[in-house]
Structure 1
Amino acid sequence: MPSSFSSITRGALPVAVLLAASLAVTACGKKPEGMPQGSATEVGIVTVQSEAVPITTELTGRTSAYLVSDVRPQVSGLIKSRLFTEGGYVRQGQSLYQIDAAPFQAQYAQAQAQLAQANAALTSAKLRAERYAELVKVNAVSKQENDDAQAALGQAKASVQAAEASVQSAAINLNYTKVAAPISGRIGKSNVTPGALVTAAQATELTRIQNIEQVYLDINQSVGELNRLKRAAAGGEISEAATADVELILDDGSIYPLKGRLQFSDVTVDPATGTVTLRALFPNPNGALLPGMYAKARVISGVVGNGILVPQPAVTRDPKGNAMVMVVSKDNKAQPRPVKTTQTVGDKWLVTEGLQPGDRVIVEGLQKIIPDAPVKPVTIGAAAEKK
């Protein structure tokens, strides 16, 4: 029995020793690869600073020509000829249509003849009045006859003035037979052809001229938004914008290269829409903007004096929709921070509450961390240079 027990013990001893040694190594050694090590996670950060940030508002509107003139005849008659090319550029004073001038030429000649008659009658009345004025002094004519002569002279002078006015009126009507361009600009299609009968001040225009060297953009802003900005300015949250520059955003999303200027803000609220009209004027040297185009205007409505801009990927939302960011604490741990965002400025959020200058905000690596986890902050610009 002892010999048997002794043989078993001698055979099992190496196995036990190896097992004990293996356990000791496992207990004292490192964890197997693939298990969490508890080391800090590298994250990309930005250090935020306060700055003056303009508050912009995007409003929709439509363009209209700087000057518009509907051309209508000022005398009645037959159109003899059209003197412009449709769609071309015309200058102020340029003849556009020729109305048959023969009747008006005759009226002008008749008015001139009446003026000549009036001048002849005036000469006769003047000579008679001068003679009677001398004869009445020697009692050669009665005072009544002299008074009648003087009155006849006054009537002759009045007749001359009336005839001169008739000549002037006839000359104006004759001149109106040449329908001239009231303004310079691009002219549209003609609504009449030679041979058409037109009447003075008719409802239908002959054609339309639009000056688009500059273009208006009429935009609408809600009264609620306008009042909110006024309250923010009164409360000191924002200051009034020092510039009235306006950017125009075309319907394809591109930015018009030339900035416009805000001209005025209407004082009347449209009862149907609850909006007020703002008008901006844009230079249009190449004619890229056409009347009636849909566009958006980016208007600077105020300036936040101590705004903080944070990249948009850094801002997340909690289940209630509140804005949150992750900041790096002094001991390099990730900490959630509720913030208040007002609007986007390019690719950043404008944060007005919740952050202070110098805070380190995590932008990259948010999906790899949890609150209070240790992190290794790397400035995004420095990380890009390192790569």
Structure 2
Amino acid sequence: MPSPCRCQPPAWRRRQPGTWRAGARGGLPACLFLLLAACGAPSNDTGEDAHVAAARVTVAPAEPAAFGERFTLSGTLTAERQTRLSPRADGLVAQVHVDAGDPVEAGQVLLELDAAIARQALLRAQAQTEEAEAALREAQRLVVEAQRLIEHQAIPATEVEARAAALDLARAAAASARANAREQAEQVERHVLPAPFAGVIAEKLSEAGEWVQRGTPVLSLVATERVRLDLRVPQERFGQIADDAQVRVFADALGGTPLQASVGARVPVTDPGARTFLLRLLVADPQGRLLPGMSARAEIDLPPGAAAPAIDRDALLRQPDGSHSLFVVEETDGGPVARRRSVRILHDRDGSVALAGDDVRPGERVVIRGNEALADGQPLDLVER
């Protein structure tokens, strides 16, 4: 129980007894007022609490979420085209024109084989073609001559037919000779290995003087103008990704710079051990900064699912147990008041948060500014956003 308060007169009044008594009678109301104030007496006879002032807050309505969940997967960048080149003919390597790390253009000669024997075979085929062409011309002359003589009945009809048959044989022989010459020319051409596409030589696997055969890798070529990102997607996510899904790629080597990407392929063949599916993304890299082998992560936006309310992120209040709550506006006879509700977060994006269930109904007003010091049931002075 608190000790009673005492009102002591100033020292100069205590030294004058007469004055003290007169002053005590004249100053009694003031002393009583000081006693009441110092001892915490109620300011009115009824003892009612003072009116709680309305808190000025900013509110905004909850709206149906126009975005779905966003999740992240990591993978490795690979070249869109990568191949090991082998010679198109058996032979001795005469010269290798490139080395590892050299950039090459499509059609550029990378390696040459010794084509001396093939060139000799080509010369022989060309000579045979000329011989067949000459025989064809002679057969044509004999047929023309026979047709002129038959008009005068100078030769039998069977001779004319024989010359016509010989002409057909000469034509076939000439066509065969020309085909053989083209084949030998192609054999000579195949002693040269061109680049099938533009890229960078990744490996040099052969040197001059080495005997190689068709199917033997001699060079490794990688296209670097466009890369792709291969991801392993869990089975529960794979069916949610559409071909036109919005995707952003972040390469670790480029820091936080986002790159646009598109879905290149969805391979519906699962990995039995991991229960994942292959998702191949084509990454737009106009500056050519990405290289095969780099690590990267992709942010994939899923389409909106079932209708869920979306609110401003600033409306959320974190509880000590890690859960979240917010204040909604409730209209009462005395005016709007704040009501606290616990909510569950589905996903968030760009400052908005989608909530689960019926925690907040679309159109319901939510406090987004001034909610830090609110109490449940506190009157509100609303500012609409």
- Alignment TM class, shorter chain as reference: 0.7 to 0.9
- Normalization by structure 1: what TM-score? 0.72
Is 1:26 the equivalent of 2:29? no
8 Å CA contact 1:213–1:283 kept in 2: the answer is: no
Stretch of structure 1 that moved more, 119-128 or 155-164: 119-128
8 Å CA contact 2:55–2:381 kept in 1: the answer is: yes
Per-residue CA distance 1:310-338 (angstroms, 9 max, x = gap): 4278254797x975434454567653314
Shift of 1:271: 5.1
Against the structure 1 CA distance between its residues 148 and 323, is the aligned structure 2 distance closer, same or farther, given a 3 Å change threshold? farther
Against the structure 1 CA distance between its residues 377 and 224, is the aligned structure 2 distance closer, same or farther, given a 3 Å change threshold? farther
Q: Distance in 1 between matches of 2:300 and 2:347?
A: 14
Amino acid at match of 1:259: Q
**Stretches of structure 1 lacking an aligned partner (at least 5 in a row):** 1-13, 31-36, 231-239, 382-387
8 Å CA contact 2:315–2:366 kept in 1: the answer is: no
Shift of 1:341: 2.4
Shift of 1:144: 3.7
For residue 269 of structure 2, what is the aligned residue in structure 1?
269
8 Å CA contact 2:315–2:371 kept in 1: the answer is: no
- Normalization by structure 2: what TM-score? 0.72
Q: Distance in 2 between matches of 1:253 and 1:210?
A: 21
Shift of 1:42: 7.6
Against the structure 1 CA distance between its residues 350 and 136, is the aligned structure 2 distance closer, same or farther, given a 3 Å change threshold? same
Amino acid at match of 2:110: L
Against the structure 1 CA distance between its residues 252 and 213, is the aligned structure 2 distance closer, same or farther, given a 3 Å change threshold? closer
Instruction: Give SS of 1:287's match.
Output: coil
Per-residue CA distance 1:130-172 (angstroms, 9 max, x = gap): 3334444555444444333222211111111111111111111
Q: Distance in 2 between matches of 1:252 and 1:134?
A: 86
Superposition RMSD on alpha carbons, in Å?
A: 4.1
8 Å CA contact 2:261–2:283 kept in 1: the answer is: yes
Shift of 1:22: 6.0
Stretch of structure 1 that moved more, 280-289 or 299-308: 299-308
Shift of 1:182: 1.0
Residue of 359, 373, 378 corresponding to 1:354: 359
Q: How many pairs does the alignment contain?
A: 344
Shift of 1:183: 0.8
For residue 219 of structure 2, what is the aligned residue in structure 1?
207
Amino acid at match of 2:67: P
Per-residue CA distance 1:325-376 (angstroms, 9 max, x = gap): 344545676533143422132565322542244523468876x776x36487
Amino acid at match of 2:292: P
Per-residue CA distance 1:102-123 (angstroms, 9 max, x = gap): 1111111111111111112212
Q: Distance in 2 between matches of 1:309 and 1:255?
A: 27
For residue 222 of structure 1, what is the aligned residue in structure 2?
234
Is 1:128 the equivalent of 2:142? yes
Q: Distance in 1 between matches of 2:302 and 2:37?
A: 73
Residue of 314, 318, 328 corresponding to 2:316: 314
Is 1:249 the equivalent of 2:250? yes
Identical-residue share of aligned pairs (%): 23
- Bigger Rg, structure 1 or 2: 2
Against the structure 1 CA distance between its residues 139 and 252, is the aligned structure 2 distance closer, same or farther, given a 3 Å change threshold? closer
Amino acid at match of 1:163: A
Against the structure 1 CA distance between its residues 41 and 90, is the aligned structure 2 distance closer, same or farther, given a 3 Å change threshold? farther
Q: Distance in 2 between matches of 1:120 and 1:167?
A: 16
Against the structure 1 CA distance between its residues 38 and 120, is the aligned structure 2 distance closer, same or farther, given a 3 Å change threshold? same
Against the structure 1 CA distance between its residues 174 and 252, is the aligned structure 2 distance closer, same or farther, given a 3 Å change threshold? closer
For residue 343 of structure 1, what is the aligned residue in structure 2?
347
For residue 280 of structure 1, what is the aligned residue in structure 2?
281
Q: Distance in 2 between matches of 1:317 and 1:164?
A: 89
